[in-house]
Amino acid sequence: MALSTNDLKNGMTLALPDGLFQVVEFQHVKPGKGGAFVRTTLRNVRTGAVVDRTFRAAEKVDQARLDKREMQYLYREGDDYVFMDTSSYEQLPVGADVLGRAAGFLVEGASAILAMYGDEIVGTELPASVELSVTDTEPGFQGDRVSGARKPATLETGVVVQVPLFVNVGDRLKVDTRTGEYLTRA
């Protein structure tokens, strides 16, 4: 669907000749001399690369229609993560490279929203935080009370996060899926 660059909004996805891009930021500029233009910051949906691009005011661009489906993660099969569409119960294998960082926060039974462009998965939205168990970390010692000190901990999905010294193996932690940071013990 074609729309004018005057109608751009943050978060919109555009189908440009060189790929799918999401609008991160935009600014309408009307210089004293010459025609108005729209300065944008775009993020490539497939690669994550950020580019700055300028369009003439009222230039037509194609808006990409993304189909966002709620899926449930079932199990891992080789390098693929198998999801089930919660409305049609159809199973869909998804490669780890497509999921990116989100793969480190998926546990069986977890929900995720997969953004699809045609048959291609172009994005993964997870809840803001997830609860995961610690499978490996160095023990904390009595007397280790250095303010703000951290140690690495491996979680059940294999992702490593920095945690306070008092966290032990078997603890359940709440982790922010956007930044990968420890929030609190669950």
Same domain, 119 and 135: no
β 13-16/60-63 pair status: antiparallel
Give the long-range contacts of residues 16-19, CB within 8 A, separation 24 or more: 16/42, 16/61, 16/62, 19/44, 19/45, 19/46, 19/47
Q: Does one domain contain both 120 and 71?
A: yes
In sequence order, what are the residues at sequence separation of 6 or more whose Cβ sits closer than 8 angstroms to the Cβ of residue 120?
none
pLDDT digits (tens, 9 = 90+) for 110-141: 888 888 888 888 888 888 888 888 888 887 66
* 140 and 118 together in one domain: no
Instruction: Express each pLDDT in 7-31 by its tens digit.
Output: 888 888 888 888 888 888 999 888 8
Where among 125, 149, 164 does a domain terminate? 125
Query: Residue 119: is it exposed, middle or buried by C-beta count within 10 angstroms (0-12/13-18/19+)?
Result: exposed
Containing structural domain, residue 94: 67-125
- Grouping H, G, I as helix, E, B as strand and the rest as coil, residue 113 is strand
Could you tell me the CATH number of the domain that includes residue 154? 2.40.50.140
What is the number of structural domains in the chain?
3
